[in-house]
Structure 1
Amino acid sequence: MTSLLSPFQLAGLTLPNRVVMAPMTRVRATADGLATSRMAAYYAQRATAGLIITEGVQPSAVGQSNPGTPGLHNDEQVDSWRQVTDAVHVNGGRIFAQLMHGGRVSHPDTTGLQPVGPSAVAGEGDVFTPTGPQPMPVPRALTTAEVVEQAASYAEAGRRAVDAGFDGVDGVELHGANGYLISQFLSDTANLRTDRYGGSITNRIRFAVESVAGTVDAIGAARTGIRLSPGANFWGATDGETKELYTALLTELATLEPAYIHVEATAEDALLRELRRVWPGALIMNPSLPTGSKPTNREDADRWLGLGAELISFGRAFISNPDLVERLRAELPIEPLDMAALYQGGNDGYLTYNAYQYPSEAASVPVAA
């Protein structure tokens, strides 16, 4: 059976193990979307992962979802990311930037702009703002020409990512999951369009395919991945005809030969296994639901490696265990996560988790009287 700790060749990139750090929002960027030295230290601490995928990075100002998240849509933001990529590379790591356009999952109090989406349908639930959670407003429906522009924003952010040091062996992952913009276009509840981007399955997958195709053209297939959550219902964005929808999507994406797809376990096992058979390329599997109570563990990882996944992403376990790869290798205890410190800012719950401390040999030797 494939070992979680064995090397893997991912689109020409040699990964020393199959442990991927999943993208997780940590809201430690500046108010204007700059990466910080604190973020550089955080990612560098976790550079033993086979691959790091960063928190969601907005590809445009209107694409920002939460306050305190970083961007890649101006020169100052590009410059700020170099300290992060340099720190990870110095520590021997590999890092992809996740490009996350929030679409309707946003608020004017965060961006100063009216959120946009495929249709003028508000998302369900509250979104974080600088003054606390607020209901999502009705987004402005994008015109057909604007849809093309928003798809192109991923490619432009991909170019900026390369300038920021996500170059050579690194790349970007498009966030096509969890009810954000790409997922909204896939949805039959968030997307009520009647143009070429809505209605039929062929039309609903078009935005995702064009976003990936543009990014592949801009920075290369080997530097491009996409994350998906088939069958999920985040923020009220459901995707009807899930099997047919994702079969069609993966079939189209396969012609572009991206480095990987990154799939969350948001559907029944039978469907996920069937999609594995449809997809001819590398699969990163995340066995844990983002909103679930159970984080990914070694048993989950080994099971999905046995079912054909090449790589396994761990989310919450990587927050509280910067040395997670070593803990998995040596079967050491996994430190629990302090949920209260997730989004509070500062170093607590961010840089305060330590590598495993082995008991001192001297402590076990009796002291002579």
Structure 2
Amino acid sequence: MTVIPPLKDTKLFKPIKVGNVELKNRLVHAPTTRYRASDAHVPTDSLLTYYKLRAENNGGLLISEATFGDDTFGLYNNIPEIKTPAQVEGWRQVIEAVHKEGSFFTIQLWNLGRAADPKVNKERGLPFVAPSALYFDEESEKAAKEAGNEVRALTIPEIEAYVKEYGEAAKRVIYEAKADFVELHGAHGYLLDQFNQPEANERTDKYGGSIENRARFLLESIDAAIDAVGAEHVGVRLSPYAKFQGTKGVDSKTHPIAFFGYVLSELEKRANEGKRLAYVSVVEPRVSGNADSKDTREFNTSWIREVWKGVLIRSGAYLNENYKFLQHDIEADDQLLIGVSRYYTSNPDLAERLRNGWELNKYERPLFYKVLSNVGYITYPKHGEEASKYKHLESVQPKPLA
């Protein structure tokens, strides 16, 4: 277990307005893929319990695991989706439970592109697509060839259909499932980010080449969501420094400050025109994809604040090293929220533990992706509880909510 200082008197537990809602604190449950949806991609009763427990005595923001907005967004098994009536109803029940606890909720929309499972796509009659016909590694190429579903470049009509679907999915998130926010996953080498990266995008049309062209799909998708539900309900996640699934971070052909500085300047321009996003979420260079970065170079990310003036979520190893990054950053920025994922998985009452300086349960990484299992998902105890209280859940099969 990790011993921590109490943070109740820091800005982490001061209220902040995000979009049209006022959060009671600045602690955010960052998106965490956990493979606990049904085979039909419907949220399960266990998934509801997971978020409900983390909403109790909280009042902050919970961001969902990455969620498909449509089958065409590419597929993995047992990941939630928000397209069919059953999928929407499942999410509506989850969000209603979170709201009843006085907390707030974002659904993050995920489009996989060349990071999808080509075999699963093939089984569903879906192509394996990317900005350009490029694989991000040899393993992906081998899997695609074995599945008989080799990667191909998206056509412009397909890109335009994706943009439209981001708007339609945003409506389902906000108007039907009743979430507070919809977040576009523009990070970690998934489709929106693949267009950003010159290593993945060798197009010569209006979606490739220059910084402006490579950013076009991301910005058009954000605009579609804004037009659909209003900027105050929209967020986006970016990972300028990540080296994950073919992204190169600072070693890219285009330095992330140049590319993402342009993206943020475009979002700030929209804000100045009355369309300020609810928030921008960025992944700190301490983390790359689903693990800590092994890059020992130090990076100064203060430039983000020079461009984007709205609410900012920073995520990435904030609960390491006695919280020195957390305490420094939260006090230095009045518009900042802190995202946490790994320790939120193992501490359902994380907000209370941080507020009071209580010990944290150590997470168990091998259990993060235990498909359709309660183990390591809703079996962690709250402070003062015995783990045995939840032992009976280990043999219970999660069931779809609708």
Same fold per TM (> 0.5)?
yes
Q: Indicate yes or no: 2:39 matched with 1:26.
A: no
Q: For residue 279 of structure 2, what is the aligned residue in structure 1?
A: 260
Q: For residue 35 of structure 1, what is the aligned residue in structure 2?
A: 43
Q: Which whole-Å CA distance do the structure 1 matches of 2:245 and 2:94 have between them?
A: 31
Q: Which whole-Å CA distance do the structure 2 matches of 1:30 and 1:119 have between them?
A: 32
TM-score by length of 2: 0.81
Deviates more, 1:341-350 or 1:14-23: 341-350
Q: Which whole-Å CA distance do the structure 2 matches of 1:225 and 1:135 have between them?
A: 35
CA contact (8 A) 1:15 1:50 kept: yes
Shift of 1:208: 0.8
Q: Secondary structure of 2:158's partner?
A: helix
Match for residue 311 of structure 2 among 282, 298, 310: 282
Change (3 A) 1:23 1:329: same
Q: Which whole-Å CA distance do the structure 2 matches of 1:138 and 1:232 have between them?
A: 26
Change (3 A) 1:81 1:136: farther
Deviates more, 1:145-154 or 1:186-195: 145-154
CA contact (8 A) 1:125 1:136 kept: no
Q: Indicate yes or no: 2:238 matched with 1:224.
A: no
Q: For residue 330 of structure 2, what is the aligned residue in structure 1?
A: 305
Amino acid at match of 2:132: S
Q: For residue 118 of structure 1, what is the aligned residue in structure 2?
A: 131
TM-score by length of 1: 0.88
Amino acid at match of 2:279: Y
Shift of 1:216: 0.6
Q: Which whole-Å CA distance do the structure 1 matches of 2:321 and 2:104 have between them?
A: 21
Q: Secondary structure of 1:214's partner?
A: helix
Q: Secondary structure of 2:240's partner?
A: coil
Q: Which whole-Å CA distance do the structure 1 matches of 2:203 and 2:384 have between them?
A: 56
Q: For residue 256 of structure 2, what is the aligned residue in structure 1?
A: 242
Q: Indicate yes or no: 2:389 matched with 1:346.
A: no
Q: How many residues align?
A: 348
Deviates more, 1:179-188 or 1:111-120: 111-120
Instruction: Report the structure, 1 or 2, having the larger helix content.
Output: 2
Shift of 1:75: 2.1
Q: Which whole-Å CA distance do the structure 2 matches of 1:166 and 1:107 have between them?
A: 30
Moved over 4 A (4+): 134-138, 267-271, 294-297
Q: For residue 365 of structure 1, what is the aligned residue in structure 2?
A: none
Show structure 1 runs of 5+ residues with no match: 360-369
Shift of 1:65: 4.1
Shift of 1:136: 11
CA contact (8 A) 2:119 2:147 kept: no
Match for residue 98 of structure 2 among 88, 92, 96: 88
Q: For residue 211 of structure 2, what is the aligned residue in structure 1?
A: 201
Q: Which whole-Å CA distance do the structure 1 matches of 2:11 and 2:76 have between them?
A: 37
Shift of 1:231: 2.7
Shift of 1:248: 0.7
Alpha-carbon displacement from aligned partner over 1:163-195 (angstroms, at most 9, x marks no partner): 44334xx01110000100111010001111101
Amino acid at match of 1:301: L
Q: For residue 178 of structure 1, what is the aligned residue in structure 2?
A: 188
CA contact (8 A) 1:19 1:49 kept: no
Q: Secondary structure of 2:366's partner?
A: helix
Q: Which whole-Å CA distance do the structure 2 matches of 1:234 and 1:68 have between them?
A: 22
CA contact (8 A) 2:15 2:23 kept: yes
Q: For residue 150 of structure 1, what is the aligned residue in structure 2?
A: 162
Q: Secondary structure of 1:234's partner?
A: coil
Amino acid at match of 1:54: S
Change (3 A) 1:172 1:125: farther
Q: Secondary structure of 1:104's partner?
A: helix
CA contact (8 A) 1:63 1:101 kept: yes
Alpha-carbon displacement from aligned partner over 1:114-158 (angstroms, at most 9, x marks no partner): 22111111122657xxx9xx9996422111121111122221111
Q: For residue 397 of structure 2, what is the aligned residue in structure 1?
A: none
Q: Please give the residue correspondences for 1:37-186 in structure 2 after superposition, counting only pairs within 5 Å.
A: 37-47=45-55, 48=58, 50-111=60-121, 112=124, 113-124=126-137, 126=139, 138-167=150-179, 170-186=180-196
Shift of 1:306: 3.5
Change (3 A) 1:189 1:5: same
Q: Which whole-Å CA distance do the structure 2 matches of 1:334 and 1:272 have between them?
A: 28
Shift of 1:236: 0.8
Q: Which whole-Å CA distance do the structure 1 matches of 2:148 and 2:15 have between them?
A: 43
Q: For residue 332 of structure 1, what is the aligned residue in structure 2?
A: 358
Q: Which whole-Å CA distance do the structure 2 matches of 1:33 and 1:15 have between them?
A: 29
CA contact (8 A) 1:287 1:301 kept: no
Shift of 1:346: 1.4
CA contact (8 A) 1:125 1:235 kept: no
CA contact (8 A) 1:227 1:262 kept: yes
Indicate the RMSD between aligned Cα atoms, in angstroms: 2.4
Shift of 1:219: 0.7
Match for residue 214 of structure 1 among 203, 207, 224: 224
Show structure 2 runs of 5+ residues with no match: 1-8, 287-296, 387-402
CA contact (8 A) 2:119 2:149 kept: no
Q: Which whole-Å CA distance do the structure 1 matches of 2:107 and 2:367 have between them?
A: 23
Q: Which whole-Å CA distance do the structure 1 matches of 2:320 and 2:127 have between them?
A: 35
Shift of 1:269: 6.1
Change (3 A) 1:105 1:209: same
Amino acid at match of 2:67: V
Amino acid at match of 2:157: A
